[in-house]
Amino acid sequence: MPYPTRITLNTPLDMHLHLRDGEMLHNIAQASAHTFSGAIIMPNLVPPVTTKEEVVAYRARIEEAIGDETFTPYMTLFFKPSYDRAFLESIKEEITAIKLYPAGITTNSEGGVSGFDVEDLRETLEAMSDLDIPLCVHGETNGFVMDREAEFVSIYERLAAAFPRLKIIMEHITTKESVAALDRFENLYATITVHHLFITLDDVAGGMLQPHLFCKPIAKRPEDREALLKVALAAHPKVMFGSDSAPHPREAKESCGCAAGVFTAPIALQLLTELFETHNAPLENLQKFISGNAQNIYGIMPPAKTVILEKHPFTVPESYNGVVPMYAGEEIKYTITEVSDG
Amino acid sequence: MPYPTRITLNTPLDMHLHLRDGEMLHNIAQASAHTFSGAIIMPNLVPPVTTKEEVVAYRARIEEAIGDETFTPYMTLFFKPSYDRAFLESIKEEITAIKLYPAGITTNSEGGVSGFDVEDLRETLEAMSDLDIPLCVHGETNGFVMDREAEFVSIYERLAAAFPRLKIIMEHITTKESVAALDRFENLYATITVHHLFITLDDVAGGMLQPHLFCKPIAKRPEDREALLKVALAAHPKVMFGSDSAPHPREAKESCGCAAGVFTAPIALQLLTELFETHNAPLENLQKFISGNAQNIYGIMPPAKTVILEKHPFTVPESYNGVVPMYAGEEIKYTITEVSDG
């Protein structure tokens, strides 16, 4: 069936987004807020977001930065094993999820978890289960870079088995091992980025080294990308789009010791549409992948938004307010021609 | 047995070196010529070295650049399947080996070989066998970046079986598969770089992205490094040190789309000494790895040179004439305190 040249997407959601803070927040927030109805906002600021006051204040700064765009920032808290039931009850209305980082595993994660002893985590995770607060996890060990995520799967399984009512979201999965884990535990879910659907390690380091495609988890092998594509294109009900769009200033990317993160927010929907078209996957699956599945999994009701894309080439800008996006200067197939509320 | 604090190395050889041309040649040649007795000089200039006149002229430019250092540039020719016996006979005295590049696989290799049909290569490789000219090979397919070298092993085996009298040198090997191939064919040999003995992909892309450790072949997995270490520290008689030291201007490394190559010439002997000490490997093995094995394999008689290293910290310079070396600004354990002829 030929793809339509004009495509309508409803109420897109980005279930994993870095908006940063301060000047960077102001530089990049609108890139997401214009085309998405909402996003799960990562809490790894410096220092990380760990109190109710910080959540409320960060949301206010985001709302100020997005101006009058219709966009819901779904706030998260930076996981600490010291959170007790009373604290979680007090903060429940302000947050949509809690994000767990292994200590030191990625940008601004120094204060994360360094052991995964179930008993150490029991009080917090049982309270989260009872209060129906999902746990989002950056699942990498400190092992060899190509093995870190696959090695973490056993930790996912341990947590999923120990806390069967806790919704555990494996964030930005990149491996066939994580995909396989999805179907072994009812309470495991996943987000998938747009860049991991497009690239492998070959694109990062197979030709010249490409710092703007360097991210954590690093892009893996072709068979890993195939496994991700399979569940994304089929809109597997336990997977959602989450961009992990992560802006860094150009100088932090193009230098000796480049920071991890790919900035995709302004081109994610165009690239996903191109991807689904290339594979001739049903448009209804794209709609589920970028919105429906997330609404079901998180039980959220985002504000309605309509995004219209047309199939004519769009040249990705060299930079958005100093942040170099994925595929800067390259031509992609779809252009967003209209965005409206409702 | 405790290592001596003052170590003497005799007649070091670098069996794989990029000296480039023009200004770069003048900037970096002395870094090798000062401490090494000689080196196999790679022919991948732009355009590549493919005629007797070009070999002779390039040697003259190298000799001018090294001034009065005692150093033999062992010249190579860029492999073409069109080289016939008469041509090879005419050039034999000017060269030490011929270097084969698969087309487009690394810096300045666009004119390389694109098929490995034994019959297409037969005339040239049989003439090389008869004339005892070794074939040096950059062994990578155009497959996935982590698999390219292992995939090429079947091509090495095909060539080794078809031309059993041809000395085939697997250049800058990085995988356990290449190490294993060494013992399966009498006529397969290998060079190993210093950086592949120190780093894995983790060092390139496991933390921040490190462009100065980005090279081709890319550093592989921990078990690959272990396999390389084993044969290097044991001074396996079929392996030789070859730095693959490959200078690029700083701006070509620290930019979007960084060039492949690690510049190690000025610190290679210090690092190798540190490595052998760390593993408490016999000093006589170090001597074989950096000179004796190469003399046996190639049948060369380099000019004698004595290099004395002492165990006190050396801070690697931030740059050598605009080229950033491996471990720039970091402290290494050994310092070269004396170099003398004879």
At A187-206, the pLDDT tens digits run 999 999 999 999 999 999 99
- A332: in domain: no
- A35: in domain: yes
At A213-238, the pLDDT tens digits run 999 999 999 999 999 999 999 999 99
Tell whether A204 lies on the interface with B, counting CB pairs under 8 A. yes
Q: How far is CA B145 from CA A5, A251, A284, B207, in A?
A: 36, 27, 35, 19
At A43-66, the pLDDT tens digits run 999 999 999 999 999 999 999 999
B288-313 in b/e burial notation, b at 16+ Cβ within 10 A? bbbbbbbbebbebebeebebebbeee
Please name the residues in contact with B63: beta carbons below 8 A apart, sequence gap of 6 or more.
B73
- The continuous run of DSSP H or E covering B125 comes out as helix B118-131
Could you say which of A144, A146, A209 has the minimum Cβ distance to residue B209? A209
| Domain of residue B258, CATH code | 3.20.20.140
Question: Looking at residue B1, what is its pLDDT?
Answer: 67
- A68: in domain: yes
Integer Cα distance of A211 and A233 in angstroms: 27
Q: Do A144 and B324 touch (CB under 8 A)?
A: no
Tell whether B259 lies on the interface with A, counting CB pairs under 8 A. yes
Residue B191 has φ and ψ, to the nearest 5°, of: -105, 150
- A4: in domain: no
Q: Do A257 and B210 touch (CB under 8 A)?
A: yes
So what's the ipTM on this one? 0.92
* A247 closest CA partner among A326, A145, A171: A326
Q: Spell out which residues of chain B touch residue A214, defining contact as CB-CB under 8 Å.
A: 205, 209
Q: Output Rg (C-alpha) for chain A, integer angstroms.
A: 19
Integer Cα distance of B190 and B180 in angstroms: 11
Tell whether B260 lies on the interface with A, counting CB pairs under 8 A. yes
Mean pLDDT of chain A: 95
Side chain identity at residue A271, one-letter code? L
- Classified as helix, coil or strand, B296 is helix
CA B332 to chain centre: 21
Integer Cα distance of B32 and B265 in angstroms: 6
Residues in chain B where the model's pLDDT stays below 50: none
Question: Looking at residue B150, what is its pLDDT?
Answer: 98
- B292: in domain: no
Q: Is the pLDDT of residue A259 over 70?
A: yes
User: What percent of chain A has pLDDT above 70?
Assistant: 99
- Classified as helix, coil or strand, A147 is coil
> Could you tell me the residue range of the domain that residue A68 belongs to?
14-265
Question: Looking at residue A256, what is its pLDDT?
Answer: 67
Q: Are A174 and A203 in contact (CB under 8 A)?
A: no
Question: Looking at residue A109, what is its pLDDT?
Answer: 78
User: What percent of chain A has pLDDT above 90?
Assistant: 90
At B237-258, the pLDDT tens digits run 999 999 999 999 888 877 766 7
Q: Do A254 and B253 touch (CB under 8 A)?
A: no
The pair of three-digit structure tokens given for residue B231, joined into one six-digit string? 């044969």
- B49: in domain: yes
Query: Which are the catalytic amino acids of B?
Result: 244
Please name the residues in contact with A174: beta carbons below 8 A apart, sequence gap of 6 or more.
A149, A196, A217, A218, A219, A220, A224, A228
Q: Which residue has the higher pLDDT, A116 or B125?
A: B125
Number of Cβ pairs closer than 8 Å across A and B? 71
Question: Looking at residue A253, what is its pLDDT?
Answer: 78
Q: Spell out which residues of chain A touch residue B204, defining contact as CB-CB under 8 Å.
A: 205
A172-186 in b/e burial notation, b at 16+ Cβ within 10 A? bbbbbbbbebbeebe
Length of chain A, please? 342
How many structural domains does chain A have? Answer: 1
- A336: in domain: no
* B52 closest CA partner among B5, B98, B120: B98
| Closest approach of B186 to chain A, Cα-based (Å) | 32
Q: Are A172 and A16 in contact (CB under 8 A)?
A: yes
Q: Spell out which residues of chain A touch residue B218, defining contact as CB-CB under 8 Å.
A: 205
* B198 closest CA partner among B171, B225, B233: B225
The pair of three-digit structure tokens given for residue A148, joined into one six-digit string? 């870190």
Q: Spell out which residues of chain B touch residue A221, defining contact as CB-CB under 8 Å.
A: 144, 146
Please name the residues in contact with B195: beta carbons below 8 A apart, sequence gap of 6 or more.
B213, B215, B219, B244, B262, B264, B326
Tell whether A218 lies on the interface with B, counting CB pairs under 8 A. yes
* pLDDT level of residue A116 (50, 70, 90 thresholds): confident
Bridge partners, A190 (sequence order): A170, A239
DSSP annotation string for B145-169: TTTHHHHHHHHHHHHHHH-TTS-EE
Bridge partners, A317 (sequence order): none
Tell whether A129 lies on the interface with B, counting CB pairs under 8 A. no
Whole-prediction pTM: 0.94
Integer Cα distance of A278 and A270 in angstroms: 12
- A119: in domain: yes
Side chain identity at residue B325, one-letter code? P
* A246 closest CA partner among A271, A228, A268: A268
